Amino acid sequence: MGGDQGPIPVVAGMARVAKRDPDVAFVVHGDKSQLKKRIKKYKALSTRCEVKPSTKVISMDIKPSIALRNGKDSSMWSTIDTLKTGLANVAVSCGNTGALMAMSMLNLRKAAGVSRPAIACLCPSSNESGFNVLLDAGADIKADERDLLCYSILGTKFAQNGFSIVKPRIGLLNVGTESHKGRSEIKNAYNLISENEEANGYNFIGFVEGTDIFSDEVDVIVTDGFTGNTAIKSSEGAAKIIRNQLRQAFTHSPFSRIGGFFAYTSLRRFFKRIDPRRSNGGVFLGLNGIVIKAHGGSDPVGIEAAINLGVKLARSKSF
């Protein structure tokens, strides 16, 4: 209910998943009459959709602490609760990130040995899996060296279970790869992550820079939530302006329109590959349960991608 466009794209995204995947069922939370009306529109959803009514909606700009205090009757709380009771295997939301993390932590609890949960994002790369994992993408705005070690371990497990990478390569994000660069907590983290390499089954490759987030030299990029969030959003901004300029290049003159006509299938393939909606979804790591946060402004294609990611993780038995 709480995403930028309410339940309409959510139900439409569910329908897209249901059409292609016969073994997925849904428990959907929120305004009962509104949801039932939307669900009715899709034949694929009719027999595998349960509606759990809830009255409150967590708005996008509410503080997590206030959401926790007043949010017990909300669709978000009900969603996490369904995961807690085992009725659902995955929770997906495009609502308020901070509130979702706070409710998830309170209800699902941190997994054993985890000091701080994190949000992992998938970044397109030329690695075999097609993705690199970046964390933390914004669960917390600060991270000390122990948190960064914890993120390395969480990222390792995610890469192992989600992408079958036996020994993931971990890179610590910094402003340069030289050892004297960066803040003191990052230098301390460098040593701590290095010391714990063998015990945790990762391959620590040292400092990486922003340019390496999409590189095939690394599998997991570890950073604090402030930097991670900015890195992801900056890349999205860059991709957006590049897409616009490509469109402009092909509508620049009648001749370039003709070029665009002949290049249509190639351009379509390209736009599909770099479509940010298709790598939609931050995964909450370090909790007793799988929670996926989709973009607040997700359209049906974005919701579909977020649900598919959750389904994939739920099906990987070891996750």
Compare residues 27 and 60 and give the one whose CB is closer to a second copy: 60
45 lines the binding site for a second copy (CB under 8 A): no
- Binding range to a second copy, per CB under 8 A, among 2-10, 16-24, 33-41, 208-216: 208-216
70 lines the binding site for a second copy (CB under 8 A): no
Under 8 Å CB-to-CB from 82, ≥6 apart: which residues?
27, 29, 52, 88, 91
Compare residues 168 and 225 and give the one whose CB is closer to a second copy: 225
Interface characters, 71-100, with a second copy (x: CB under 8 A): ---------------------------x--
Query: Of 125-154, which residues contact a second copy (CB under 8 A)?
Result: 125-126, 138, 141-142
Closest CA to 232 of 269, 183, 281, 301: 281
CB of 256 to a second copy, least distance (A): 4
CB of 119 to a second copy, least distance (A): 11
222 lines the binding site for a second copy (CB under 8 A): no
188 lines the binding site for a second copy (CB under 8 A): no
Query: Of 2-41, which residues contact a second copy (CB under 8 A)?
Result: none
212 lines the binding site for a second copy (CB under 8 A): yes
The residue count for binding a second copy (CB under 8 A) is 64
225 lines the binding site for a second copy (CB under 8 A): yes
Binding-site ranges for a second copy (CB under 8 A): 61, 63, 98, 124-126, 138, 141-142, 173, 175, 178, 180-183, 209-215, 223, 225-227, 229-242, 244-246, 248-250, 252, 255-256, 258-267, 269-270, 273-274
